[in-house]
Amino acid sequence: MAAFYNQATISVNGNVTSSNIVAGEITQVLSADKNSVIGTYSPESDTVFTVSMVNSGDTDLTGVTVTDDLGEYTISEEGAQAVPLTYSEGSAALYVNGVLQPAPTVSSAQPLTVSGITIPAGGNAMLVYAATVNQYAPLGAGESVTNTAQITGNGIASPVLASAVITPSSAPDLAISKSLTPSTVPENGRLTYTFIIQNYGNTEASAQDSVIFRDAFSPALDNIEVTFNGAPWTAANYTYSSATGIFQSLPGQVTVPAAEYTQDPDTGVWSTQPGVSTLVISGNIISSAAAERCAQTARR
């Protein structure tokens, strides 16, 4: 709502007399709400936004334009800007009173500008569009992207704003790589497997997450030694069968710290330094005959 005031004057032979002041109020007939279909995001994920507009007046609102900042924010004292969302070309759709309309006019992708919308009297319109999370989106715990749409048009006294807030997914995001040393080993020789476990998520993989590591060594190993992040593991941390070569950690033994995120102050691009844990398993290769004896023993 917007208040207005008005006063008249009358002049006779240069003598001015003022009227009383009258006050009025203009009621905003357009209301808007913005939502994200999915409230969380991860790197390069897609999200869908909806902008719902309701015209409570008795006149159609024509020439309506929706301008979306796609989460634009300031990254420096000099006023440099970063835009964490990229409009997905061709994704915009418009519904009026629940009926799908011809594709709306997108005159700009950044800021996203959709024009030529008509909202009927006593009716509603909904604009739907998708955006992709890009390298300017913060990923750390407690961060967020605030995405604001501004609605203007004929019969709209002042711009109407509607915002949606999305936050980074809070979960471990693990990856694992495996290496072997040496790559050539004699019969009954000793070899070492090294597993690098990386966490790209903003949340630690803790004991409560019950991460389980599993591998089936072929050929199987004997006399194994196991370390995790440099500390020795015992049978209290894992199970292993030399008959099958199957190694498996017990729940809660594998933990991996959360990733760390750094933003370039000049470009605004975020980089990820994953949390890392290292599992090392070494042992002697069991010969075929010995492996068969182990298998027979296991079957008894």
Segment 70-88, tens digit of pLDDT = 999 999 888 889 999 999 9
Local confidence band at 296 (pLDDT 50, 70, 90 cut-offs): low
Spatial contact of 49 and 70, defined as CB atoms under 8 Å apart:
no
- DSSP secondary structure of 257-268: PPPEEEE-TTT-
Whether 29-168 shares its CATH topology with 174-299 is answered yes
What letters, b where the CB count within 10 A reaches 16 and e where it falls short, cover 26-59?
eeebbebebebeeeebebeeebebbbbbbbebee
Asked if pLDDT for residue 32 goes beyond 60, the answer is yes
What is the average per-residue pLDDT within 161-184? 95
Q: What CATH code would you report for 174-299?
A: 2.60.40
pLDDT computed for residue 220 by the predictor: 95
Least trusted range by pLDDT, from 15-24, 76-85, 199-208, 219-228:
15-24
Element (H, E) at 295: helix 288-299
Task: Name the strands in the sheet holding 238-241, side by side, starting at the edge strand that comes first in the sequence.
Answer: 214-216, 246-249, 238-241
Report the range out of 12-21, 170-179, 181-190 with the highest average pLDDT. 170-179
Topology classification of domain 29-168: Immunoglobulin-like (2.60.40)
pLDDT digits (tens, 9 = 90+) for 243-275: 999 999 999 999 999 999 999 999 999 999 999
Distance of alpha carbon 249 from its chain centroid, rounded?
Answer: 31
Tokens of 177: 């790589």
Spatial contact of 176 and 278, defined as CB atoms under 8 Å apart:
no
pLDDT computed for residue 79 by the predictor: 83
pLDDT computed for residue 77 by the predictor: 82
Q: Of residues 3 and 152, which shows the higher confidence score? A: 152
Name the residue among 265, 49, 273 with its Cα closest to residue 136: 265
Q: How high does pLDDT run on average in the chain?
A: 92
pLDDT computed for residue 87 by the predictor: 98
Least trusted range by pLDDT, from 126-135, 165-174, 286-295:
286-295
pLDDT computed for residue 69 by the predictor: 97
pLDDT digits (tens, 9 = 90+) for 121-158: 999 999 999 999 999 999 999 999 999 999 999 989 89
- Report the distance separating Cα 108 and Cα 70, nearest Å: 12
Backbone phi, psi, residue 290, to 5°: -65, -35
Asked if pLDDT for residue 240 goes beyond 70, the answer is yes
Name the residue among 190, 151, 209, 211 with its Cα closest to residue 280: 190
Local confidence band at 293 (pLDDT 50, 70, 90 cut-offs): low
* Cα dihedral 60→65→68→69 (10° resolution): -130
Asked if pLDDT for residue 116 goes beyond 90, the answer is yes
Instruction: Look up residue 198 and give its amino acid.
Output: Q
Q: Of residues 289 and 176, which shows the higher confidence score? A: 176
pLDDT computed for residue 214 by the predictor: 98
Q: Of residues 2 and 22, which shows the higher confidence score? A: 22
User: Tokens 């009954």 map to which residue?
Assistant: 188
Spatial contact of 149 and 32, defined as CB atoms under 8 Å apart:
yes
Q: What is the DSSP letter of 220?
A: -
- Report the distance separating Cα 36 and Cα 47, nearest Å: 7
Neighbours of 147 (CB within 10 A): 23
Q: Structure pTM?
A: 0.79
What is the domain partition of the chain in residue ranges? 29-168, 174-299
